[in-house]
Structure 1
Amino acid sequence: MENQAVSWKKVCIIAGAFCAFWIGSGVATGQEAMQFAATHGAFKGMAINILYMLLLMFMGYVLYGTGQREQFDNPYDVFEYYCGKHIGQVYLWFTVVLSYCSYVVMMAGAGATIHQYYGVSTSTGTYFVAILACLTAILGIQKLLDVIGVIGPIKIVFLSIIGFYALGTIAGNPDVLATNSVLVSQAGFKQITSIWPWSAVLWALLGLIYGITFFIVSGQVCQSVKEARMGAILGVFATCVVLSLLTIAEVVYLDLIRGQQVPTLAIAKSVAPFLTKVFAPIIVLCIYSAVASLLLLVTRKFAEDKTKKFNLLAVCLTVVGMFFGTLLPFDQLANILYPISGYIAIALIGFIIYKEFINKDAFPYKCKKASVNTSMDDIAE
């Protein structure tokens, strides 16, 4: 029987770390909720959020448990574990490239946020976040999780404020939601797909390909599969509540966010101006924690953290990312990267379902670090 010890403090830290990682530039700026959900209107947008949450909970439940159970030497070994040696290598390198591209996209989001609020150049904001994230990544995975695990709840609170203001606006003007749900599709915002259920699926698949290695390393630091899975589910739930509130807010405050790279900041400046001095740094904090996580995960493919090789690679990747993060506007980068990643993940989820629920012996893999009771059959559900 597998040890199912659970520390609620650890569960909350893991959940907070998930929130901090997931609420990067796409969520914090409002671009992700806009392109995947809000452009479909408030009612379909809420349905998208619910379906997205259920799919993401399933992925977190499985992968956090796998990370704790298998204790991979390298988090990227998860692709060989689920897909076999050859196909696993294809996914491994695609994920490395995607994670690095996401890292660049998020730095662009940081630059856009700092420029929109503080008036400094976009490149200056990008460079500032990049350097801070690099210094954090050098601290190593455990320190990173400890730091962003505290940041996560702060993000949840401040992003929720926008949603609560929107709910207050709806209470005073009940027709605004239905009216703007029609108008939002004509407002010129970029949209991932016009088919709303498919938008939710692509959103979740993007999460899979983007977050799989983070799921694995987060699960590894837990003391039991149960603890890992509880942290994942709690983190997904909290994040998706925020996304639902943001979706409603973007529909309600449609006139405020037209033409804005950072919709959340535009809303905050209008409805809660007394909070904007705090809110802008919070958005930057959201992006910084996700950027640091992605940088660490990409660099871990090539070197163990806390080594000279790791530190040198982290600095080099930061310098390159700082350059490319200033080439394209943030919304264009997000609209290009997000749907491609979702489509690539379709086959990967098939491999995961096949090994977890159909043939547990498929693609034999022996992990050097795996300790005791590594079979799924030994897990006490």
Structure 2
Amino acid sequence: MRKSLSIIFQVAAVFIGTIVGAGLASGQEITQFFTTFGYKSFFGLIICMLMYILCSFMIIDLSTKYKLNSYKDLIVLVSSGFLGKITDILTSFFMVSGAAIILAGSGALLHQYFGVSKWIGILIMSIIALMVLFRNTKGLVEINSFIVPSLLIVITTIFLLYMLFSGHAANINHVKTISHNKNYWFLSSLIYASFNILSFSGVLVPFSHDIKNKKYLIIGTALGALGLTVLSLMINFMLLTNIPYIYDYDIPLLYIVSRFGKIIQVVLLGIIWLEMFSTEVSDIYSVSKTLEQSFKISYNKAVICILILSIPISQIGFKKLINFLYPAFGVISFIFLIQCIIFYRKNH
């Protein structure tokens, strides 16, 4: 019983830790894909949760049935033609770019708060990531089992403080009156959920190979999806009630907690950095597993190559990378998910 609960918790933690990266933990991702749509953004986040649960079940089922080892195997199975090859290449590119986004975010975070060179944040992240990645799957599980509970505790505490001290701003009626500029909230939700699902498949497919009990994986991903949604709803509420000021910051969540004093700021700073780190490790782990299988190079060598490649890409800048890469990859992911659903229905 204890072992099964431990496995479920680990899967849930890795699910949350993989998706909550530089964009979500900083507030930048939630702002772009949800907050700008006003109160409808809350419905969008619920849609994402349902998609996470249903699509994760489908990927787990396909992975165990066809004995898949990496996200490349999943893409080849579901989309074997030209579109599948393009999706495979772009998924790998996105994950490498995702690792670059995290490095850029780490640099931006330390630069915004401490005023130090962005290179310091990039180098610190790179060195520690190597140490964890060389521990393979065990390292991935260990860091998320520590980081994710810490994240949930800190964000919940900040949210409760915000509700306590924000007066009329923390009011549902006030939220409904906040102006918003866009109306395609439903499409934005689908795209956001799609790229997160395809990104997480890079970890979920190998997990389906290592963890033989399908039930544990399904319960773990469902629990992770619920925890991630609650977290996102709290962050979205705080961001929404701080429009338009949040648009001026790379790390909008850090701006929101500035009213609670330096200690809370430093704690949030640490949590954001740790969550960035967990996604950095997940992205590099996913691509390394695929390179190991496709090109027969050692996992450790693949890790080093991807990290070296990510560093120059990170120089483009945190906000620019998110604004360009996430929507583009989201569209590709959405097309792939439709293919995945069609394949699943035909072969089930």
Q: Which residue, out of 129, 151, 161, partners 1:165?
A: 161
Whether 2:105 is the aligned partner of 1:109: answer yes
Distance 1:143 1:65, change over 3 A: farther
Displacement of 1:68: 3.9
Q: How does 1:307-318 map to 2 (within 5 A)?
A: 309-318=298-307
Match of residue 210 from structure 1: 199
Distance 1:69 1:153, change over 3 A: farther
Whole-Å separation in 1 of the counterparts to 2:306 and 2:298: 12
Distance 1:152 1:341, change over 3 A: same
User: Which 10-residue stretch deviates more, 61-70 or 151-160?
Assistant: 61-70
Work out the number of aligned pairs and report it. 346
> Structure 1 regions of 5+ residues with no counterpart?
187-192, 361-375, 377-381
Match of residue 240 from structure 2: 251
Amino acid at match of 2:153: V
Match of residue 319 from structure 2: 331
Question: Per the alignment, in what secondary structure is the counterpart of residue 292 of structure 2?
Answer: coil
Q: How does 1:1-381 map to 2 (within 5 A)?
A: 7-41=4-38, 43-84=39-80, 86-169=82-165, 172-173=167-168, 178-179=173-174, 182-183=177-178, 185=180, 194-254=183-243, 257-271=246-260, 273-303=262-292, 309-328=298-317, 330-357=318-345, 359-360=346-347
Displacement of 1:30: 0.4
Distance 1:146 1:209, change over 3 A: same
Deviations 1:21-53 (A, max 9, x none): 111101110011111111111x21111111111
Whole-Å separation in 1 of the counterparts to 2:243 and 2:107: 23
Whole-Å separation in 1 of the counterparts to 2:253 and 2:157: 10
Deviations 1:109-141 (A, max 9, x none): 111111112221122212211222122222112
Amino acid at match of 1:107: L
Displacement of 1:169: 4.3
Could you tell me the TM-score, scaled by structure 1's length?
0.83
Amino acid at match of 2:258: K
Q: Is residue 44–residue 186 contact of structure 2 (8 Å, CA) maintained in 1?
A: yes
Displacement of 1:299: 1.8
Distance 1:304 1:277, change over 3 A: same
Amino acid at match of 2:59: L
Displacement of 1:106: 1.8
Structure 1's consecutive aligned runs of 4 or more residues displaced over 6 angstroms after TM superposition are: none
Amino acid at match of 1:10: I
Whole-Å separation in 1 of the counterparts to 2:71 and 2:44: 30
> Structure 2 regions of 5+ residues with no counterpart?
none
Q: Is residue 70–residue 205 contact of structure 2 (8 Å, CA) maintained in 1?
A: no
Whole-Å separation in 2 of the counterparts to 1:144 and 1:200: 28
Give the structure with higher Rg (CA).
1
Structure with more of its chain in helix, by fraction: 2
Query: Identity across aligned pairs (percent)?
Result: 20
Whole-Å separation in 2 of the counterparts to 1:84 and 1:13: 32
User: Which 10-residue stretch deviates more, 282-291 or 60-69?
Assistant: 60-69
Whole-Å separation in 1 of the counterparts to 2:237 and 2:68: 40
RMSD: 2.5
Q: Is residue 134–residue 295 contact of structure 1 (8 Å, CA) maintained in 2?
A: no
User: Which 10-residue stretch deviates more, 234-243 or 73-82?
Assistant: 73-82
